[in-house]
Amino acid sequence: MRSHRVAVSDEEFRSGVATTRIKKEHIRSIVKETRLVEKGIAATIRDCSDDDGGGAAVAAAPSTKSSTSLPAGYSP
């Protein structure tokens, strides 16, 4: 996964608001990456589909394993 930076002010950091903003931005970036992977898999399946109608083609999807997890104590 790509690193994602979130700019926060000193006041936000001290008040704890920054933690919530960082969590939200992190989740948004995960969702965006997931959508891109889903689009890539769908395009691969379309490209590998059988044009003559005889049998289904199986597409090898790219590896989507990720060590990304939600921050501790966070439940959407």
Does residue 19 lie within any of the structural domains? yes
pTM above 0.75, yes or no: no
What range does the domain containing 17 cover?
Answer: 1-64
- Tokens 């003559």 found at: 52
C-beta separation of 25 from 2 below 8 A: no
| The predicted structure's pLDDT at residue 72 | 65
For CA atoms 34, 39, 42, 44, the dihedral sign is negative
What's the number of CA atoms in the CB half-sphere (13 Å) around residue 52?
Answer: 2
* Residue at 75 is within a domain: no
CA distance 20 to 60: 38
The answer as to whether 70 is a domain residue is no
For 13-58, what is each residue's pLDDT tens digit? 777 777 887 888 888 888 999 998 888 888 888 777 655 554 444 5
